[in-house]
Amino acid sequence: MRISVIGCGYVGLVTGTCLAEVGHSVVCFDSDTAKAQMLRDGRMPIYEPHLEELFLRNRQEGRLSLAEDAGETVRSGDAIFICVGTPPLENGDSDLSAIDHVARMIASEARSPKLVVEKSTVPVRTGQELKRALAVYGRNSGSKFRVASNPEFLREGTGVEDFLHPDRIVVGVEDEQTERQLREIYQPVLDGKFRCPVHPSGCQGAPEPAFVVTTIASSELIKHASNSFLALKISYANALADLCERLGANVEEVTRAMGLDPRIGPHFLRAGLGFGGFCFPKDIQAFIRLAERAGMDFRLLKEAESLNHHQIERFVEKIRHALWVVRDKRIGLLGLAFKANTDDTRFSPALKLAARLLAEGAEVHAYDPQAMEKARTELPGVNYEADAYAVARGADALVIATEWPEFARLDWEKIQAEMARPLLMDGRNLLDPKTIRALGFEYQSVGRPDGDSIGLPA
């Protein structure tokens, strides 16, 4: 099928590349000329495992192309996936101006019937507004438009795998023709009949994803509901961690046993510095605002958001408690991205922590395997180092702020020898306390019995 993708951010780039990978003819467009030129030059604007390999191969094999003209993109596709940004406004609402702009552009440029698919995360009723905009601005074009919702459930760091091997594909439709067309688009994914870059030896036996058909309104609500619930689980784990520190319990033992209950499950019950990235903070705010407009006070989500903000301050207090005086101390930071396997620093807890330490008068040195360039533009006051060992050299404290697996494999005996004071603050519970203490570290983590952290005042 001929598919157009408008917007080459994280969602659009993964969506367009993976749709080409499973056999469709895909044309992508982005209004950011610098980003578009970067892609035409074969360079990635984001880091995502497997993405560059798939993007370059599908361009070479002719299934994926980059349009220079928005109108060309609209006219070339039978289905058009809208993947533009919906950033938060100051009041927490989603900024839908890019969606509106694309709708007017599709309406004016289309010369044949189009299926227009919302892939961006949008609040409920956006589909109805999209239909109205297409009808109003396309009234003289003679083209007919059908609208569908198809929310993305891509996790940064595993986006390609999530697209090619999803647990569910949700489509919000209003007619059988739209359902059939979307099922046809995703049939290779449903069948698993494509070469798999994530599992080269084959992925036979993998469960077939659920193809969930709903109304457009339900589909739009599912993404916000899912992300908000996951954020709730993270905040609940952090609240438990606080209690465990006060009572001398181990949050990992508690959450591990909880997660064995199939009604609860183990995923996202991990204590740490809290959730970040572009999706969770934005989506939970948008969901709260959506509820307010519907006349509901979603206090549960407000408390989860508050707990998440408080988690950074709690960890800063741990550092103060351990160092006595933070001002003029050299503090090393391992990790800048909001999570491992991405270079995304948007709403990153690691950057928030770095900013707080700078405000306290600390000298902050940092390293991240992928996020250094983006972090420099956001937080120029940090000293960015070439590797983890340079960060540790002469440090009064070392903080693990992002759970990169390579940090667990560092030569910790060497790091201990490099530090002015071997104080290790593990904000992601990445390391084993007994092993690391045996090397001579003063070690504290989140919600585990770490000596001085027990009984820390709120």
Please name the residue that has the structure tokens 């928005």.
70
d(Cα 17, Cα 154) in Å, to the nearest integer? 13
Please name the residue that has the structure tokens 């892609």.
39
Task: Considering the candidates 8, 28, 83, 279, report the single residue annotated as catalytic.
Answer: 279
Compute, in degrees rounded to 10, the torsion defined by CA atoms 197, 57, 116, 167: 0
Q: Quick check: is 196 catalytic?
A: no
CB atoms within 10 A of CB 131: 17
Whether 28 and 8 have beta carbons less than 8 Å apart is answered as yes
Q: Which pair of tokens denotes residue 41?
A: 């030059």
Tell me which residue of 146, 91, 76, 159 sits closest to 123, measured CA to CA: 91
Helix (H) / strand (E) element for 330: namely strand 330-334
Sign of the C-alpha dihedral computed for residues 259, 211, 11 and 56 taken in this order: positive
Whether 255 and 240 have beta carbons less than 8 Å apart is answered as yes
All residues at 6 or more sequence positions from 440 whose CB lies less than 8 Å from its CB, including other chains: 416, 422
DSSP bridge partners of 154: none
Amino acid at 273: L
d(Cα 82, Cα 365) in Å, to the nearest integer? 40
* Per-residue burial over 347-372, b = 16 or more CB atoms within 10 Å of its CB, e = otherwise: bbbbbbbbbbbeebebbbbbbbbbbb
Q: Which residues are catalytically annotated?
A: 279
